[in-house]
Amino acid sequence: MSRSRALTRLRWLARHLEKPVLARARRPWLHRLRTEPMARLLLRGRKPLAYRSETIGGVACRVLKGGGGTVFYVHGGAFILFSARSHQGLAARLAQPFGFDVVLPEYARAPEAAFPRALDEVTACYEAVAAASVGPVILAGDSAGGGLALALLHRILHRGLPLPAAVLAFSPWVDLTLSGPSIAANAKSDPILPANAVTMVRDMYLQGGFAEDPEASPVFGDFANGPPVLIQVCEDEILLSDSQAMARRIEGTGGRVTLQVLPEGLHAFQLFLGWIPEADRALDACDDFLRQILLSAPSSPAT
């Protein structure tokens, strides 16, 4: 299927306007001032959403009430950018077909907070959500948030916490050793992520932590007896290898995984739902994946 004009325009804008800025970014606070308002405007979805602020498990969250289950969404942004508010549109779209609640934790970002504080906060929030949910919990995230979601899944399995019914990961960053070959191979083809900035961003997050720790790099985790996982990634991203290695790891440790490698697109393009048809089609595939699982899922999180 040929690329839509909308995606072609978006890729051009990303390559010529956003990627050069990201490659030079050195001050996270200044970069947040630029990206957060833009993200909230462009990624909010097509209709107003009645989100409210709550504290869950000691963590500030954005919450949208539905009923019957919960989408627990961990926002991306290289561990340093964006917020729960910037990703409200995508999280609501995942929940809408099933009438679920939405919870987006406002976890502490780097460099102000070092690893593993973000994961600790996401875990505390998830535990409280899972304990209170009257239906299945869907764990989801994009980019660094997808990596945090999968690190959380590893921690859930390791600690015997309530299981989510399924996990959705969009272009997850899961290997902080930066050993994936696509970081170099796709450095030019990736229209938005600058390969020369990933080491700096990784170090802002880890701050002396070990990249090989599965709670930092879930690609080294153990996913035996875990729930089904869907990973979506584009073939020309620098993080393509991360998704491929993650899928192999889940399968190799006894987990269940579906990897969908999409034609050339944009990192975490699902955020642009309603703007590009490729995002809408990818999210339709998520709906199909979740429907198959939820038909046989228990009415509350399994232990």
**Residues with catalytic function:** 143, 237, 267
Q: Which amino acid is at 222?
A: D
- Residue linked to tokens 């200044």: 30
Ordered DSSP codes for 118-133: HHHHHHHHHHHHHHH-
**Which tokens is 17 given?**
């306007």
Say whether 220 sits in a helix, a strand or coil: helix
Does residue 223 sit in helix, strand or coil? coil
Report in angstroms the alpha-carbon separations of 82 from 1, 99, 264. 32, 26, 24
Amino acid at 298: P
Q: How far is CA 98 from CA 43, 104, 278, 300, in A?
A: 21, 17, 21, 14
- State the Cα–Cα distance between residues 197 and 53, nearest whole angstrom: 33
Torsion of CA 238, 243, 245, 247, to 10 degrees: -170
Of the candidates 191, 282, 271, 168, the one whose C-alpha atom is nearest the C-alpha of residue 238 is: 191
